[in-house]
Homo-oligomer: A and B are copies of this chain.
């Protein structure tokens, strides 16, 4: 059986994702589609609007055969580590290709761009460092350095968000010499950052914005979602009483910062260059998460980077924890969240050839990444009013079958 990997967040799972799934199956002819998905917290440093289990169900209903969870320490990271953890997970599970959506839609441009990048690597590094020394954020400095080394000449427009993401996947595959074929299909219509919904394909950002604002699934949102997502969104809201957003966590992370010592804050992953003082100083006056981040934000510390840092504060993830993945040769395990019958057939055949453990629950895990996973999950569910037991318990149950 041939498997194709997808790198996803499904926050929430929408029609654009269905389009991506169907396009990927067509482009690769794969028998099995494997999605590696961020869990409780996402790459941009935000809590997922509904939990990973409910998102898994939506994905399995519309063409994904296997959903794997990207470990927290890869999921809530800059795009390089995010990409590395994702492609390594797909490699360990035996995917022979990955297929991602991009503005470009032409994989040869990505590989050409990689060649240019390789040849001019030292120029890239120098420019990157120069820009960062000026106080420019990493993503922006990297974009400028790409420009400087003439990556555009490869036909690659690295100002487009999905091209950037795709390039990081290609780079992760080629840097690590993985036997995975990268493929890309053109994303239709909606931009990643689109804020408004028009038509049946809308960006996840615009969908979340509407959902959180209305606390309801409006007509406009409903047409952009598969039926199963609508169902899972309602089911989650009924069970948990909430769709998660950062403001729900403000009181917890604020309490936490208020009672941490400066040394403890400085030990958190991502807190560097005296940022602990800035976070502490701004805490006293903060009355909302939005206001707080706005006060800390600089050219160098972008909103996204700060959000990731605040997720690490919330989940108590330290530099020592993060060191586990920074030098790891590959992911420590592959965690199965859910599968279809096709997915199960694939895994039965694949299991014995795997080089890392395939796990389906957090129970009894002694790997330190699993302890971090558990903390992240606990922190995620902490805002649910009343009894949280059944939510924690999902982490101990067998994978979802659909």
Contacts and interface: CB of A to CB of B under 8 A. Distances in A.
Interface in A248-288: 251-252, 254-256, 258-261, 264, 284-285, 287
A292 interface: no
Interface string A311-347: 0001110000000000000000000000000000000
A289 to B, nearest CB: 13
Interface stretch (A95-103, A170-178, A375-383): A375-383
Contacts of A255: 252, 378-379, 382
Secondary structure type dominating chain A contacts: helix
Nearest to A258: B378
Given A382-B254, A387-B287, A261 B392 contact: no
Interface residues of A, number: 25
A9 B335 CA distance: 53
A371 interface: yes
A2 to B, nearest CB: 41
Interface of A: 251-252, 254-256, 258-261, 264, 284-285, 287, 314-316, 371, 375, 378-379, 382, 386-387, 389, 392
A230 to B, nearest CB: 30
Nearest to A387: B287
A314 B382 contact: no
Given A252-B255, A256-B256, A285-B389, A316 B261 contact: yes
18 contacts: A251-B382, A252-B252, A252-B255, A254-B382, A255-B378, A255-B379, A256-B256, A258-B379, A258-B382, A259-B315, A259-B375, A259-B378, A259-B379, A260-B316, A261-B316, A264-B316, A285-B389, A287-B387
Contacts of A314: 259
A90 to B, nearest CB: 30
Contacts of A316: 259-261, 264
Give the most central of A264, A285, A378: most B CB within 10 Å: A378
Nearest to A385: B251
Given A255-B382, A258-B382, A285-B389, 16 more contacts: A251-B382, A252-B252, A252-B255, A254-B382, A256-B256, A259-B314, A259-B316, A259-B375, A259-B379, A259-B382, A261-B316, A261-B375, A264-B316, A284-B389, A287-B386, A287-B389
A184 B287 CA distance: 48
A52 to B, nearest CB: 17
Nearest to A316: B259
Contacts of A260: 316
